[in-house]
Structure 1
Amino acid sequence: MEFFEGTRAAFRATIRSTCRPSVEGLQNFPRSGPVIVAPNHLSFLDSIIIQALMPRKVAFFAKSEYFTARGPKGAAMRWFFNSVGSIPVERGEQAAGVAALQTALEILDRGEAFGIYPEGTRSRDGLLYRGRTGVGWLALTTGAPVVPVGLIGTEQLQPADSNMIKAKHFTMKIGAPLYFEKTGPDHPLPARRAATDKIMDAIAALSGQQRAGTYNQSKQAG
């Protein structure tokens, strides 16, 4: 924990000194207990920003390839993602998705914070896409409060299809927690959908993004 907090403090200092971000609503983040953090997604760096600037550790999933690459670059990537609290997860298979949600439950059961992007993948056109219902499932299953987050301008830090990182101002708005009745894992799909839509409405109010009305697709899926 001491190593993680030291790394987080270093990233926080770097982000604040180079980008001079505007951060609003830190008082809304619960100081203890399980928390589901639900941001919009504009940049590869969004998870790192949230992990660095939030008052508590927030665990995010990261592609397993980041932890298995070989050579010096692979070792550097493993160190980096481990140091910011990322958790490796396989992408693209239903069984892997189920395992990922089980891992999220374990994190929340420990009274920790877990971050999930309801859109599933980052927006490359700036629109806010329809939320996938995994976040609603977690909220109803655990009863953990959901903290919506609106990120504004983070896409300028690393434009899509670019490996260059630029120091640009951005804004992070943290909304008031949303509470849902704990129903356990056996709840109807309409309830999960309704919870997810409420979370997406809160994110939209914070980010000010235009709504796409459809699900986002990964670049590979076209």
Structure 2
Amino acid sequence: MISTAAVKIINILPDRFASYICKTVVDRYLKKYANIYIDGSENLKGIRTPTIFICNHLSNSDGLVLEKALKAIDPTFVAGVKLSDNAVTSIGMNVVKTTKIKPDTVDKEGLRKIINLVKQGESILIFPEGTRSRVGSLIEAKKGTILIARMTEAPIVPIGLYGTEKLLPINKEGDMSAENFNHADVHINIGKQFELPEAAADQNKKDYEDLAIKYAMNKIAELLPENYRGVYGDGSC
């Protein structure tokens, strides 16, 4: 990966130049290391927008490859604030459009910005698990996606992604700046747009959110090989 010293220099450049350099660097790395296969592109034709894209999360390279697959729609990616604080991962923040949120907190301001973006017509992409899976398969998702979908009434497009955990593996010590690209086949499987089921008249909020997030995550699981489905492997709702 590009050296930390070089990244620090890039990050003090004017936004326009920093973005150009970062995109050039990322394109070079993806062209060299990633064989990207996209299935389901036809499911993007004629979809209702704005829409909420949801995808499983395996690597810091996920947003970089998804940006290529979704270039025609150009969604804003929901990203954890700590990615901006890291010298190397900040490269990705200069490549894709992002809105920041504080993970593992009730970030009302961050959620409000996301909801307003969608209401203003901007499609977004969320990783509902809230973090990269350290086990290489789906882990339990957070429920913020359900709140955003209900508040905006936006439909959802599921995406199953795999191979990025080999392209840019998670560093075992948690040092994101020490992660390096490797040659890998990356598969992006885009599903059909859907809407969340209606809540039953006698259903309380927690029960509905539990049902709805499982429903949405099962849509992702259906797009993944069985060994990537993790806690959503049985397809139950």
Normalising by the residue count of structure 1, what TM-score does the alignment of the two structures yield?
Answer: 0.76
Residue 192 of structure 1 corresponds to 209
Q: How far apart, CA to CA, are the structure 2 residues paired with 1:182 and 1:9? A: 45
User: Is the Cα–Cα contact under 8 Å of residues 11 and 52 in structure 1 kept in the other structure?
Assistant: no
Please show how residues 15-26 of structure 1 align to structure 2 within 5 Å.
15=30, 18-26=33-41
Please show how residues 128-139 of structure 1 align to structure 2 within 5 Å.
128-139=138-149
Residue 89 of structure 1 corresponds to 101
Change (3 A) 1:25 1:10: farther
Q: Which moved more, 1:132-141 or 1:173-182?
A: 173-182
Which residue of 191, 197, 210 corresponds with 1:175?
191
Residue 56 of structure 2 corresponds to 40
User: Is the Cα–Cα contact under 8 Å of residues 149 and 206 in structure 1 kept in the other structure?
Assistant: yes
How far the C-alpha of 1:48 sits from its partner, in A, is 1.7
Q: How far apart, CA to CA, are the structure 2 residues paired with 1:61 and 1:211? A: 23
How far the C-alpha of 1:178 sits from its partner, in A, is 1.2
Say whether residues 1:203 and 2:220 are aligned partners: yes
How far the C-alpha of 1:149 sits from its partner, in A, is 0.5
How far the C-alpha of 1:45 sits from its partner, in A, is 1.0
How far the C-alpha of 1:121 sits from its partner, in A, is 1.0
How far the C-alpha of 1:10 sits from its partner, in A, is 8.8
User: Is the Cα–Cα contact under 8 Å of residues 50 and 58 in structure 1 kept in the other structure?
Assistant: no
Please show how residues 80-159 of structure 1 align to structure 2 within 5 Å.
80-94=92-106, 97-159=107-169
The alignment-based identity, stated in percent, is 24
User: Is the Cα–Cα contact under 8 Å of residues 78 and 101 in structure 2 kept in the other structure?
Assistant: yes
User: Is the Cα–Cα contact under 8 Å of residues 37 and 116 in structure 1 kept in the other structure?
Assistant: yes
Structure 1: runs of 5 or more not aligned: 214-222
How far the C-alpha of 1:43 sits from its partner, in A, is 0.8
How far the C-alpha of 1:189 sits from its partner, in A, is 2.6
How far the C-alpha of 1:49 sits from its partner, in A, is 1.4
The one-letter amino acid of 1:93's match is T
Q: Which moved more, 1:82-91 or 1:142-151?
A: 82-91
SS of residue in 2 equivalent to 1:22: strand
How far the C-alpha of 1:166 sits from its partner, in A, is 1.6
Normalising by the residue count of structure 2, what TM-score does the alignment of the two structures yield?
Answer: 0.72
Larger Rg: 2
How far the C-alpha of 1:66 sits from its partner, in A, is 3.9
How far the C-alpha of 1:12 sits from its partner, in A, is 6.4
Deviations 1:130-177 (A, max 9, x none): 222111222222221111100021100111215111231110000001
* Root-mean-square deviation over aligned CA pairs: 3.1
SS of residue in 1 equivalent to 2:223: helix
Change (3 A) 1:78 1:124: closer
Change (3 A) 1:198 1:57: same
SS of residue in 1 equivalent to 2:77: strand
Change (3 A) 1:10 1:26: farther
Residue 64 of structure 1 corresponds to 81
